[in-house]
Structure 1
Amino acid sequence: MAAINLPRIIRVGGGALAELPGAMAQCGVARPFIVTDGFMVSSGMVASLLAVLDDAGIKAVVFAETVPDPTVAVVEAALEALRAADSDCVIGFGGGSPIDTAKAIAALAVEPRPVQAMKAPATTDVPGLPIIAVPTTAGTGSEATRFTIVTDEASSEKMLCAGLAFLPTVAIVDYELTMGKPARLTADTGIDSLTHAIEAYVSKKANAFSDAMAISAMKLIAPNIRTACTEPGNRAAREAMMVGAHHAGIAFSNASVALVHGMSRPVGAFFHVPHGLSNAMLLPAVTAFSAPAALSRYADCARAMGVAGAEEGDQSAVARLLEELAALNADLSVPTPRSHGISEARWFEVVPEMARQALASGSPGNNPRVPEAAEIERLYAEVFG
């Protein structure tokens, strides 16, 4: 039995941002609170969004103080601004961090409580304010997921929060918003979405619906990610990456992520490594660890990504998958934690705590091969470089 949950309204395609006022009218909302960040303001993208709303006679309040890896303090500040604004919906505009912040405050606006009270295994299903997600990166898929991530500064823990309260009502998936984004951001968000697709497909909670979305995502992302990085203005590559990231988000929201994400969140929390980059650092080693437990599933991934032929045996296909993941990291200049500048002493000092947090998040329990803490610690040692 699979339970499938999707945004109520999804508008996909170049120029879809213009559809935002119409989608809002369908939901009966007209007083948006926009959650974004300083770069989105300084780059002129918030002005473009406001112009679309203004043309429709919609006045918005803007909160632009979100930070990468949103913290409890930022969520509380945004919530205070939302309460003062008399808004009837929240628009998350930007990468995963503004959208995650928007999701958290939309839930807390209706049911006030400490942010920490929403941490998994708690489930937050009661709807908050309607959430409208407008991603400007092709990566997190957050516009289609029932998850949000908030960092607790006190404990250096990235808290996974889950439930239907975090599933956007409206998703505007417009690849034109990603045009010209720099190579590092394109690479990190692209590998993030590829990881979502692979993990959703091999997850113990996979189902026929999530499988179809995951395979679609791999077919779109794998042949286009290098082009999107080297040719930032390539519209076809950008569109494939954006739709692929969206399908990957739908896939993991309706299956789950697994060990890569479980291990990735603590790396982000302790060392402030961007989420997609920490996924990329971990993906080859974790895939090699997990593959023997789900050979045919990983072989399907290799075929969907176009690195193994339809007739090729599973063992050979998985070998090609591992080669491709290593080659992708090399081609996209993904560093190891060591070459990224992380202190070896500090890394190994926090490895036991990172392994504890990874297991506590629940994600590793969905992995084809469920690790023990000692195995996670060995993987962290292997990827350090």
Structure 2
Amino acid sequence: MMNFELPQAGVYEYVPRERIRWGQAALDAVREEIGDTARLFILTTASLVNKTQIIDEMQRCLSPQCCGVFHNISEHTPFSDVVDAAQAARAANADIILSVGGGSIIDAAKAVIICLRESIDTVEALSSRIGQISEGPDGPRHISIPTTLSGAEHTEFAGGINPATGTKELLGGTHICPQTVILDPAISLYTPEDLWLSTAIRSVDHAIEGICAPDSSPLIQAEALGALGLFAKSLRRTKQAPDDLTARLESMHAVWLATASIGRVMHGASHGLGYLLGALGGVPHGVTSCVFLPAVLDWNLSVNADKQKQIAAALGAENMSAGDAVRCLVADLGLPGTLSAVGADDALKHQISEYAMGHPVVMANPRAITSPQDIFEIMELAA
């Protein structure tokens, strides 16, 4: 019998989604998705409730199916807010959760489904589920209308702030990813420009660290490179013409491609250090990618130069390093790109370095991180 050296094994799992819709108004799409007897509970942001008529119009037009609205979800999805939302949805006897918002809202909706499925009604009980997979498919159906480019609508994980640690922790579950995603760029016109653009860089981070992951796959790399090409053009067009709905929809499609790696590979130090900068420094996660992604690319160059050439080319910057290509994109979008620009002082940097050495995502970086000095080298590149 001949002996063969087999290539590295791999598995790609698809999320149990039914459909992604675009090209029609969100309200019309929701109407087509729900039945006459549905009990639809809307989870959304305070700003959409207080500063626009979108949610009021949804409540009015979806009556009597709409059975409630909850909008008290803070940034980074604190577990206490999730439990409050779950109690409200439970009291309303909801069988569909409609999330209308960015990553914090969509992640909250996924965590609410876990709470309803498992009869969780305390922060302590929810915290006990960290790192575990909640099995479905029982529980409310999830429909999502994203208003940012974070990509939470494409994953079966929910991030939230665990009060016991003060850091962001992951909850997982089958059938918590939205079964239907509705892409309506018109609703995104209400999203602040810096939030729209910075969450896009978060998805750029998903794409790039998906490409660079040692356990990446051909599908992830192809989709991620396609995403980068769409982002490089559509984001700059949006910056120049914020009302360009075609550019906004192209960015939404880019997010769809960019998130192919989430939950399927281990991302690296840009994600891991970004989690820490967000939780410890109060910096929005999109902005953390603006800060750390170029620096991590520079630091990793010795181990994945070929992949970084592909990344730079996909971003339309063949004559730049991948790190500089990302820096150029961040600068063109008018976003902060350094630790100093986000107010990170020496005390915060030391705190990040302490937590980083025990963080599994930081430790999964393609170039091995072996000491706090490595973290400080990356932070110096991001200074």
TM beyond 0.5: yes
**What CA deviation, in whole Å up to 9, does each residue of 1:138-168 have, x standing for no partner?**
x211111111110123321111223424322
The answer on 1:354 being equivalent to 2:351 is no
Alignment equivalent of 1:377, drawn from 355, 375, 378: 375
* Backbone CA RMSD of aligned residues: 2.3
User: Counterpart amino acid of 1:115?
Assistant: L
**Cα distance change, pair 22–366 in 1 and its aligned pair in 2 (3 A):** farther
Q: Provide structure 2 residue ranges, at least 5 long, that are not aligned to the other structure.
A: 1-9
Identity %: 25
8 Å contact from structure 1 (residues 337, 383) kept in 2: no
User: Counterpart amino acid of 2:287?
Assistant: L
Name the residue aligned to 2:297: 287
Name the residue aligned to 1:312: none
Name the residue aligned to 1:89: 96
* Distance in 2 (alpha carbons) for counterparts of 1:281 and 1:125: 36
Name the residue aligned to 2:115: 108
The alignment partner of 1:292 has SS state of coil
8 Å contact from structure 2 (residues 99, 145) kept in 1: yes
| 1:181-220 matches, cutoff 5 A | 181-220=191-230
The answer on 1:119 being equivalent to 2:130 is yes
* Distance in 2 (alpha carbons) for counterparts of 1:281 and 1:14: 34
Name the residue aligned to 1:34: 42
User: Counterpart amino acid of 2:22?
Assistant: G
* Distance in 2 (alpha carbons) for counterparts of 1:20 and 1:9: 14
Alignment equivalent of 1:334, drawn from 336, 342, 352: 336
The answer on 1:6 being equivalent to 2:15 is yes
Q: TM-score, normalised by structure 2?
A: 0.88
| Displacement of 1:62 | 0.5
| 1:267-282 matches, cutoff 5 A | 267-282=277-292
8 Å contact from structure 2 (residues 290, 335) kept in 1: no
**Cα distance change, pair 379–226 in 1 and its aligned pair in 2 (3 A):** farther
Structure with higher helix content: 1
* Distance in 1 (alpha carbons) for counterparts of 2:215 and 2:183: 26
**What CA deviation, in whole Å up to 9, does each residue of 1:269-321 have, x standing for no partner?**
1111111001111011001112321222222222222212xxxxxxxx6x432
* Distance in 2 (alpha carbons) for counterparts of 1:211 and 1:183: 29
**What CA deviation, in whole Å up to 9, does each residue of 1:171-207 have, x standing for no partner?**
1122222135333112211111111111112122322
* Distance in 1 (alpha carbons) for counterparts of 2:33 and 2:45: 23
The alignment partner of 1:92 has SS state of strand
| 1:120-159 matches, cutoff 5 A | 120=131, 122-127=132-137, 128-137=139-148, 139-159=149-169
* Distance in 1 (alpha carbons) for counterparts of 2:340 and 2:185: 34
8 Å contact from structure 1 (residues 201, 297) kept in 2: yes
Name the residue aligned to 1:241: 251
* Distance in 2 (alpha carbons) for counterparts of 1:198 and 1:273: 21
**Cα distance change, pair 152–129 in 1 and its aligned pair in 2 (3 A):** same
Moved more, 128-137 or 11-20: 11-20
* Distance in 2 (alpha carbons) for counterparts of 1:156 and 1:346: 17
The alignment partner of 2:133 has SS state of coil
| Displacement of 1:94 | 0.4
User: Counterpart amino acid of 1:159?
Assistant: E
| 1:161-180 matches, cutoff 5 A | 161-179=171-189
Q: TM-score, normalised by structure 1?
A: 0.87
| Displacement of 1:23 | 2.5
| Displacement of 1:52 | 4.7
**Cα distance change, pair 107–298 in 1 and its aligned pair in 2 (3 A):** same
User: Counterpart amino acid of 1:328?
Assistant: L
Q: Provide structure 1 residue ranges, at least 5 long, that are not aligned to the other structure.
A: 309-316
Moved more, 124-133 or 147-156: 124-133
Equivalent residues, number: 366
